[in-house]
Chains A and B, each alone.
Chain A
Amino acid sequence: MNLETGKIPGYQLIFLIMGFVSSLSMLFLPTQPAKNLAWLAILVSIIEGLLFASIYTALALRFPGKTLVEINEFILGPLVGKIVSLGFLWYFLHLASLHLRNYGDFFTIVYPETPLIVFLIATIFVCALAVKNGIEVIARCSILLVSLIIFLYFFDLFILLKEMDLSKLLPLRNVSVQDFFKASNAVNSVSFGETIIFMMIFPFLNKYVEARKSLLAIIIAGLLIAISAARNTAVMGDLLSIFQYPTYETLKIVDVGDFLTRMEIVVSINFISMGFLKISILYYGLVLGTAQLLKLRTYHPLVFPFGVIITVLGVINYGAISELIPFALEIYPLYSFPFEIGIPLFLLVTAVVRGLPKKTKGDQI
């Protein structure tokens, strides 16, 4: 039963994770409680993220060639495993639709008169195209897109140097410890914790051991986000706290010699390509997992229906953007806790205690 015949080398995994992690994070992160220490909160959350990622890789290395859905069934037995997998698939579905909606919301700000659904459909259409072509194609796209983003990222950084005032990053003891960790937890759960989806992709690595490279990718991506948060704070100062899309606003004020002005379009390009990667990866994990759960021969028939479901769910997710920030800050870390760390940790502990997988051959499920 081979749902995916493509194989991706380790370096492509780095690009994939970088694109995945830094996508929305460059535009919107729930760091408001950390105020001017957003960058520090992100740095702290990298450590949390590494912790999470090492659990995922440990699990993946223990069961080489198995996706999360297969691991669930292997450890928890067919029935419970299926139920847990179903939970994960719901989580992926919900995530994909959340991100899609978030994505659409951003564009309704730039294009206030255009209906939201247009952005959702256009985006999911391109994502579906990528998902249909398999993980290899998504990985190849990620190389080009992430390279472009990194180039634009340093370009932004360079043109904003003039506007920066590093003293705005101070003072360090400005926020209460509680608020600080609230922010860093939120950052971790919306950016690094979601790499649980890569449990669906690790099996398609050329060499299983290269799953460890995800740690490196998380560090790089985390640093990029942290620097961009620091940049935003250094440019905008306290003003950041009133904006929905800090990076977008930050680039709005660029003015280099009256010629390079209002670079917010760069953020949009960033956001389109990264959002595309993030949604495609979640979407791919979702259809692949469903196909494995239903023991289908191919996931292709699922791509279209799930695209419709994600879009519809994206529309009805929430009413206004003002519902999103409390959700991201207060509810989401709790909601995502079992999926991002609870169950994976439980699986890993169970596997270690029971000595799974047994060394004997015949563990084919």
Chain B
Amino acid sequence: MNKFSLQIKKMVVLLLVLTLIPFMMSGCWNRRELDKIAIVAAGGIDKENKDKIKITAQVFKVGEIKSPQSGGSATGKPYVNFEGVATTSFEAIRKITQIASRKLYWSHNQIFVFGKEIAQEGIEKYIDFFVRDHETRLMVNVLVSKGTAHEILTTETDLETIPAMNINDIIKDLGATSQAPQITLKDIAERLLSKTSAAVAPLVEVQEINKKKHARIAGTAVFKKGKMVGELTPEESRGYLWVIGKVKSGIINVKTDDGTKRASLEIIRANNKINADIKDGQLVITVKIKEEGTLNEQDSPKNLTELPLWHSLELLQAAAIHREITAALKKSQEYNADIFGFGEVVHRKYPLLWKDLEKQWDELFPYLKVNIEVQAKLRRSGLITKPISPSTEE
């Protein structure tokens, strides 16, 4: 390789780079400065009229949240809600740019709320954009409002600065009561893809406390093929969560002393096992729940930690869980929505049989036989054993 052609080539390469630079300079392409984007904290969809929807986007007003320069004397609400009305989600979002000075940026979207009407109409056609677009998140928490999405996004907050963060934090702490599932867009999409399993989402409602509107979680919305068909109460919701193994913590109230007194038991951990069997030509689902709890509160004067009482307490606990599960099961069979994913269990166990079952699942599910076996244990009783009352035994 002689030096000359090497030099020529170097010049050619240099020329190429030089021509590339103005090319680079001319287009900003995807560059968007932080002060040119509107960070969306929450999105909501409502039915506007017969064929139009309204998208509400809650946007952080970053200047109001915390600005190191101006000592934090925030005036006004630190968020703003933009609304766009159109026939498709994408179009509605784009319409917002006509009123908002900055481009909406969806990558930090925390929650997504469906209004009840839209949920009942069917959500799959509206979430396509949110799964397809590269900017939106799959892990956004999805909720269904008992009223409109818009009213949820205008609720008051006390500890958090904006409703979206407030609701998001509430959802993250749902495990404390385990009375509503935490559902992401990914879960919904996964369920919508399935032919048999039904999607669920936490329900949220507006509650007035001291003349201030607050958002409150109130059970679970049940979907069937993308359409909301019914609701589960908080207790039924926990029944549902027991079956899918998502109960993290919570309180079980049982009645002691022949129903006159009460004791509160805390759920420490729970395991689930779902099995499908074919017995005598009939499909039977067995749900086994193993639970451990602690005695956290009692108003009975008796020492409940004594063995016979302790055992009866465990049995009462098991019965309470059983009751919750049965209620949830009854509701879901009523709605004919396989929210537990029993179909998938059968699919895994009997892949060949499933090909036929899959088609008839809608007829089969309402009459599906489900055995519920609950094993509940109590492990601890807090820091004290005897109640704080004069002992009654002697």
Contacts and interface: CB of A to CB of B under 8 A. Distances in A.
Interface of A: 109-115, 118, 121, 125, 167, 170-174, 236-239, 241-242, 249, 252-253, 255, 261-262, 298, 300-301, 304
Given A112-B30, A113-B29, A304-B9, A262 B137 contact: yes
A85 to B, nearest CB: 24
Contacts of A261: 139
A241 B131 CA distance: 13
Given A109-B134, A174-B351, A262-B107, 9 more contacts: A171-B347, A171-B348, A171-B351, A172-B351, A174-B347, A238-B194, A242-B189, A252-B139, A300-B1
6 contacts: A114-B29, A236-B186, A241-B193, A300-B1, A304-B12, A304-B13
B23 interface: yes
Interface in B331-354: 347-349, 351-352
Given A239-B190, A242-B193, A304-B9, A170 B27 contact: no
Contact of A238 (B20, B27, B193): B193
B9 A173 contact: no
Nearest to A248: B134
Contacts of A301: 5
Interface in B109-157: 131, 134, 137-139
A255 B131 CA distance: 17
A111 B139 contact: no
> What does DSSP make chain B's interface, helix, strand, loop or mixed?
helix
Interface string B9-29: 100110010001001100101
A171 B349 contact: yes
B135 to A, nearest CB: 9
B351 A239 contact: no
Contacts of B186: 236, 239, 253
B348 A170 contact: yes
Nearest to A129: B13
A253 B194 contact: no
Contacts of B16: 125
B138 to A, nearest CB: 5
A239 B29 contact: no
A78 B131 CA distance: 56
B336 to A, nearest CB: 21
A118 B138 CA distance: 29
A300 B6 CA distance: 9
B386 to A, nearest CB: 41
Nearest to B352: A173
B124 to A, nearest CB: 12
A253 B131 CA distance: 12
